[in-house]
Structure 1
Amino acid sequence: MMRAWRMPVALVACGAVVAGGSAAGGNPALAAAEAVVFAALAWLTSPLLFPRPVGAAEAQRRSAADGRPVVYWRPGCAYCLRLRLRLGRGGRRLHWVDIWRDPQGAAAVRAANDGDETVPTVVVAGRAYTNPDPRWVREQVAAGR
């Protein structure tokens, strides 16, 4: 779980150093702007942006019951972030599995991607799609699949 927070913590630390340098140089407005930019980047790369993850077994059980897709992802993945942001509020309706927290989820992704942990991998009706177009995923959610 700690590796999910490495990038956000590093960004906050770098932001503090950069903003501290600007503040020490007599430019508090620039320091504040730099601090905000680094904090935003830290938030975007953190697990906080994503819905609370569930285990792979639980996600598969829920998906079988309600027909909603399962999304396998990991913190810090730019493609996962793109999918999450483009899904908007509808993204909360999907079942999200963090492969860094769930070894069974990581194994499911490797099985679907010839041994690679390529994310996001979206499973719809038992079929895996690697890095699908967010518009297509939205359509699957709207269709109740």
Structure 2
Amino acid sequence: MMRVWILPAILLLCGSVIAVGQLFRGNPVAAVVLLLLFVLLAAATSPLIFPRSIGAQEAERRSAADGRPIVFWRPGCTFCVRLRIRLGSRARQLHWVNIWRDPAGAAVVRSANDGNETVPTILVAGTPHVNPDPAWVREQLASSA
């Protein structure tokens, strides 16, 4: 649970140290800008921007009922963040499984990726797709609705 917050915490710590250094050098504007940049990076790499994760079994049950794709992700993954941001509000229509919290989800990802935990892996109608283009994912959402 705690390892999902390591990268955001490091980013906040580094940003704070750099901002304080800028303040001591007499650059308050640079300090504020840099601190804001690091806060945004920390937020983007945190699990806060992702919809609430569910377990792999629950996601498979829900996907079978409503036909929506399942996204297997992990915090700190830049490709997962890119997918999440590019999907915008439509991301909430997907079923999200954090593989660091769900061993069954991690097993699904490893079985689809030759033993590697490569994310994001999207399961559409039982077929895995590794790091797909966000436009393609939007198309899959439109066809499942």
Q: With structure 2 as the length reference, what TM-score do the two structures score?
A: 0.97
RMSD of aligned Cα (Å): 0.8
Aligned partners of 2:29, 2:81: CA distance in 1, in Å?
29
Q: What does the per-residue CA deviation read over 1:92-134, in whole Å, with 9 as the maximum and x for residues that have no partner?
A: 1000000011111000100111111010000011111111111
Partner of 1:107: 107
Alignment length (residue pairs):
145
**Sequence identity, in percent?**
61
Q: With structure 1 as the length reference, what TM-score do the two structures score?
A: 0.97
Partner of 2:116: 116
Q: Please state if 1:51 is matched with 2:45.
A: no
Partner of 1:16: 16
Partner of 1:3: 3
How far the C-alpha of 1:30 sits from its partner, in A, is 1.0
Q: Which runs of 4+ in 1 moved over 4 A?
A: none
Partner of 1:71: 71
Listed as ranges, the gaps of 5+ residues in structure 1 are none
Partner of 2:37: 37
**Amino acid of the structure 1 residue aligned with 2:138:** R
How far the C-alpha of 1:84 sits from its partner, in A, is 0.8
For residues 119-130 of structure 1, the aligned pairs below 5 Å read: 119-130=119-130
Listed as ranges, the gaps of 5+ residues in structure 2 are none
Aligned partners of 2:135, 2:34: CA distance in 1, in Å?
33
How far the C-alpha of 1:26 sits from its partner, in A, is 1.5
Partner of 1:26: 26
